[in-house]
Amino acid sequence: MQTMKPVAIFRHAPSEGPGYFATFLDIHGIPWQLFRVDAGDALPTDARLFSGLVFMGGPMSVNDDLPWIPHSLALIRQAAQADIPVLGHCLGGQLMAKALGGVVGRNPVKEIGWSEVAVADNATAKAWFGEGKKFDAFHWHGETFSIPSGATGILGNAHCANQAFALGKHLGMQCHIEMTEEMVREWCELGKEEIASASTSPAVQQPAEIMENLAERVKALNAAAQKTYTKWIEGLVR
């Protein structure tokens, strides 16, 4: 029996690993390989070595002059051409948008913490996020993407109109659905100064507010993520 190619996961900051997504893949017996961009891992040049590509978040901008960004953009385009599914979380979604012809720039406000996102009233959105009209997602971003030509906008909220887009098997998200309790705690600790400096934004929550009912919130987020990830793995090259 031929073994399945692994899913390639690209991490851009030590604290922004795959989180619940890795747990989900393990539960489904899907192999994965982590590329620690932040640690200088050698990056693959051929998307076809993998069943899918996943890009996690990070504090940098996709418009920064970093040597790995053009490499990632090329890999995303290559995967899209070969119909190998790509999944992006926050910075990962911005990389996808830029690679596929969209534009990434400053969001009207910085968004940090828990905030409801509305599922668009279209068939594509329902396919990715189910029949529910909204759910609470986690956010930590100051930039946003435009919807690439040919893609469909499928999530949004009051503070950021474009929270997710889909193009065939590919899904790019501005919000974070991969969070675990540990990750939320670590980000709040590491991001204390950023939260303090952005406290005038109507979309930034204080750490105490972010931590409220954390176990329940993460459990609900994992349940929402499960639907989305289940749809994404259907497209994997097996």
What's the 3-state SS for 69-101?
HHHHHHHHHHHHHCCCCEEEECHHHHHHHHHCC
15 domain-assigned: yes
CATH number at residue 219: 3.40.50.880
pLDDT of residue 7: 98
110 domain-assigned: yes
Q: Which single residue is written with the structure tokens 């940090």?
A: 112
pLDDT of residue 199: 85
Say how many domains are in the chain: 1
What pLDDT digit, counting tens, does each position of 141-168 carry? Answer: 999 999 999 999 999 999 999 999 999 9
pLDDT of residue 2: 63
Residues of the chain with pLDDT under 70: 1-2
41 vs 9, 70, 141, CA distance in Å? 12, 16, 25
Structural domain harbouring 194: 7-234
If we measure between CA atoms, which residue out of 76, 82, 77, 100 comes closest to residue 152? 100
25 domain-assigned: yes
Does the global pTM surpass 0.85? Answer: yes
1 domain-assigned: no
Rounded to whole angstroms, the Cα distance separating 115 from 1 reads 45
2 domain-assigned: no
State both tokens at 102: 């969209």
- Residues 6 or more apart whose Cβ sits within 8 Å of residue 154: 119, 120, 122, 124, 125, 128, 129, 164, 165, 166
166 vs 11, 114, 219, 224, CA distance in Å? 21, 22, 24, 16
State both tokens at 65: 């002059």
62 domain-assigned: yes
- Residues 6 or more apart whose Cβ sits within 8 Å of residue 209: 113
